[in-house]
């Protein structure tokens, strides 16, 4: 009885959120999976006018066998690798620059961070222009800028390249999120006690040794958090690709785009299957991370 009186009120206060999460997250994930294992491929079935039959994992097997979806997965990997590498490197360099207190530091920080406040759709408008694929006489955007500064050989078709086009879309993503990585690293740098650096210097450590043996290990957990957070954003990328390229463009297609196109063509089963594939990819990264951070917090 006493236990219920203790647990009851807080649970009651949490109830609206718990119910909403149970329905909108876990219930819908289950419902989505249920749709993905049927032969619900037509508008008539999607609207319930015709029955659907359970076909178990046939949709997944078929999907993973098609060149089309393999291409989407390849694009997703390429995009994520370029995006993560770029944002981590830029973010770290900026944090390293601003780590020591200096004049104007606050202004630099605000400028590096401001792209975070802008929507991918709005930045997509300007990046679509910057990444214009015309070269030489017709070039505008970055290709024209390369000509102006005498780096003509750098001109390239950007996102219209058939194999590596998706990597060009990672550039605006890097532009937008490096500031966030910087903010994380900066907090990490500031969290390292001065005594640690002093002690290392007293022991005669060189600047490189200081970083290698003292600062990098201290920053490792932050780097992991940053990787996981922007990594899962990268896997869900949709807005930026839609606004720079278009949904139908083969060279910039990723699973999130496939899901959208399949739903629009009333192929609910395959659309749901793509959604589940994405969920599995994200969960493989996120669940161990949540478990790890929780344990760390408990042990504090």
Q: Which of residues 41-100 bind other proteins (CB under 8 A)?
A: 90, 93-94, 97-98, 100
How many Cβ atoms sit within 10 Å of the Cβ of residue 173?
25
Q: How far is the CB of 81 from other proteins (least distance, A)?
A: 18
Whichever of 167 and 278 has its CB closer to other proteins, that residue is 278
> Which listed residue (55, 73, 77, 126) binds other proteins by CB under 8 A?
126
57: which residues sit within 8 A by CB, 6+ positions away? 37
> Which listed residue (175, 219, 251, 252) binds other proteins by CB under 8 A?
175
Ranges within 182-201 binding other proteins (CB under 8 A): 183-184, 187-188, 190-192, 194, 197-198, 201
**What is the dihedral angle through the alpha carbons of 199, 201, 206, 208, rounded to the nearest 10 degrees?**
50
133: which residues sit within 8 A by CB, 6+ positions away? 143, 156, 157, 158, 159, 160
123 is an interface residue for other proteins by CB under 8 A: yes
Polymer length of the chain: 300
Whichever of 78 and 242 has its CB closer to other proteins, that residue is 242
300: which residues sit within 8 A by CB, 6+ positions away? none
DSSP 196-251: HHHHHHHTT--HHHHIIIIIHHHHHHHHHHHHHHHHHHHHT--HHHHHHS-TT-GG
Q: How far is the CB of 204 from other proteins (least distance, A)?
A: 11
Round to whole Å and give the CA distance between 216 and 188: 10
Q: Judged by CB under 8 A, how many residues of this single chain contact other proteins?
A: 115
Q: How far is the CB of 182 from other proteins (least distance, A)?
A: 9
Q: Which three-class secondary structure state does DSSP give residue 38?
A: strand
38 is an interface residue for other proteins by CB under 8 A: no
Q: How far is the CB of 271 from other proteins (least distance, A)?
A: 6
User: Taking contact as CB under 8 A, which single stretch among the options 65-73, 78-86, 136-144, 155-163 is the one that binds other proteins?
Assistant: 136-144
Round to whole Å and give the CA distance between 45 and 26: 24
List the structure tokens of 102: 């200096």
11 is an interface residue for other proteins by CB under 8 A: yes
Whichever of 61 and 125 has its CB closer to other proteins, that residue is 125
Q: Are residues 72 and 253 in contact, defined by beta-carbon separation less than 8 angstroms?
A: yes
16 is an interface residue for other proteins by CB under 8 A: yes
> Which listed residue (2, 49, 53, 102) binds other proteins by CB under 8 A?
102
User: Taking contact as CB under 8 A, which single stretch among the options 61-69, 159-167, 178-186, 211-219 is the one that binds other proteins?
Assistant: 178-186
219 is an interface residue for other proteins by CB under 8 A: no
6 is an interface residue for other proteins by CB under 8 A: yes
């Amino acid at each position: 009885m006493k236990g219920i009186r203790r647990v009851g009120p807080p649970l009651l206060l949490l109830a609206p959120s718990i119910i909403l999460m149970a329905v909108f997250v876990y219930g819908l994930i289950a419902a989505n999976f249920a749709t993905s294992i049927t032969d619900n491929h037509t508008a008539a079935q999607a609207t319930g006018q015709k029955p659907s039959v359970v076909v178990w994992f046939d949709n997944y097997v078929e999907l993973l066998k098609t060149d089309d979806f393999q291409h989407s997965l390849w694009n997703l990997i390429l995009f994520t690798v370029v995006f993560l590498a770029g944002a981590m490197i830029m973010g770290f360099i900026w944090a390293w620059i601003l780590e020591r207190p200096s004049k104007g530091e606050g202004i630099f920080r605000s400028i590096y961070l401001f792209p975070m406040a802008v929507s991918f759709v709005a930045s997509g408008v300007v990046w679509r222009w910057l990444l214009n694929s015309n070269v030489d006489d017709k070039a505008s955007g970055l290709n024209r800028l390369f000509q102006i500064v005498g780096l003509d050989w750098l001109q390239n078709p950007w996102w219209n390249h058939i194999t590596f086009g998706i990597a060009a879309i990672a550039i605006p993503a890097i532009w937008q999120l490096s500031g966030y990585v910087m903010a994380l690293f900066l907090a990490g740098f500031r969290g390292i006690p001065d005594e640690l650096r002093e002690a290392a210097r007293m022991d005669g450590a060189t600047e490189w040794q200081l970083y290698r043996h003292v600062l990098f290990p201290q920053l490792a957990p932050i780097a992991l958090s940053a990787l996981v957070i922007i990594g899962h954003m990268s896997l869900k990328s949709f807005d930026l690709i839609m606004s720079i390229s278009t949904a139908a463009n083969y060279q910039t297609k990723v699973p999130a785009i496939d899901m959208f196109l399949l739903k629009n063509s009333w192929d609910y089963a395959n659309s749901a299957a793509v959604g589940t594939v994405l969920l599995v990819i994200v969960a493989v990264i996120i669940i161990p991370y949540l478990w790890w951070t929780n344990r760390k917090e408990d042990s504090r």
